[in-house]
Structure 1
Amino acid sequence: MTRPRRPATLSAAHSVLVRVAAVAVLLALWELLVLARFWPPAILPGPGQVWDQLLAASDGGNGQGGYAGSTVVERLGVSLRRVGYGCGYGVVVGVVLGLVMGLVPVVRAVVEPFVTFLRALPPLAYLSLLVIWFGIDEEPKVYLLVVAAFPPVAVATAAAVTGVNRQYVEAAHALGASRLEVVRTVVLPASAPEILTGVRLAVGVAYSSVVAAETVNGADGIGGMVLNAQRYNQTAVVLLGLVVIGVTGLLIDTAVLALQRAVSPWRGRA
């Protein structure tokens, strides 16, 4: 007899409970370290202090406009807007370039070394160059995220396109489909899961890079809040910024992963 399969809802609930328990354990360990007084509160504030800073920085009527003139939500919105623009442009460039690289071997041989070169560079390595070229306004921050985001997408797309089953392509051609129709109806759907994997990587790289971009005249973003708090030794605010960045990054990654599962529900199943 085969064992009955547990409903997917129970599995999802179990996963949520495990994650909640892991967060609770982490907070408990953090509080224990604070109570043990290994470091002074100025070095390691407790979860309660970070929570108080969150409440204060979220209150636009506290006399400081939240924190240094902007609330946490406003700062987060600015950073997410930059990530959205940078990743949006980067994903479009990466998908188009990856398709061309995967479909035209000569182009891949010429372009792939440059894409790999950019992918190997840390964002801080070319941030100063972008500032020299475009100034210290929004442009260098968005361009930084574009350059950081498109190489993972291009590499993942090219690899996915070259891995498409040739029998599907030949069958589409035999049925009278044009080259563009084959790309639209066969190549892209078959490559979508790997492309979304590249998008996940791109979003992670871009979000981790936005803090570095906001250290240059980025006082209105969440990274600017972290930088300003670091200057004045406000450790609780620094930890608050890191927690906000980490939690929102996790939510974005979860959303992309859910989209990937919706596009390819067969992946990971026997």
Structure 2
Amino acid sequence: MSFLNKLDHIEAAKHFIHKYFPNCQGALLAGSVVRGEATETSDLDIVIFDASLNSSYRESLKELGWDIEVFVHNLTSYKHFFESDYKRARPSLPRMVSEGFILKDEGIIEEIKKEANELLDKGPERWTVETIKIKRYFITDALNDFIGSSNRAEDLFIANTIAELVSEFVLRTNCKWIGSSKWLVRSLRNYNEDFANCFVEAFDSFYTTGEKDRIIKLVDEVLHPFGGKLFEGFSLGKM
């Protein structure tokens, strides 16, 4: 079934709720279909709140031609995931709840959305000076490997590591949420569109031409306000 011929995403989600969770107290549809960013391979992300459940779970299914990811919680289990997402600075569930289109509500969704929005507005926990120092060291170590390497295959994967470390560093030192995969660049754009463009262009240039200078320059500029690259004198766990 092609994307254009699928049942409307909201109608499909409502059908799914009626079939599998008819007694739930609340349900939300989130993800790319709600943000207007759906593609041929987009799935339906559905969050369920059901007081009868003892614990939370996640499950993948197919229904009416859609791939469906369902995130099922009772009326308290979601709080643990909110806290876990806050600690890892990746607000997956709070973001789904915040942006979610209400499919069903028996008077619980408003409060849960309020909790999600408050957490998102708060931002992640600020990094300590010691954490910043450790992160500077690991970025420096990866950059040195990158500069010294003459192996194209190894260069590709060192560059991937640098992209993850540097994006995390920029976002966390500015108290912003981080992301992985497609959410890495989305998180950078949410923080600063101009920086995100420079970041993408630097890595795109390397992947296309093998030229490393733009990545090296980008890393130097990111680390400079925090003391620059760090190697000599760094220690971890020394008593």
| TM-score greater than 0.5 by the shorter chain | no
Normalised by the shorter chain, which TM-score bucket? under 0.3
TM-score by length of 1: 0.22
Structure with more contact order per residue of length (Cα contacts < 8 Å, sep ≥ 6): 1
Q: What TM-score does the superposition give when structure 2 sets the normalisation length?
A: 0.24
Structure whose residues are more often strand by fraction: 2
Instruction: Please identify which structure carries the higher helix content.
Output: 1
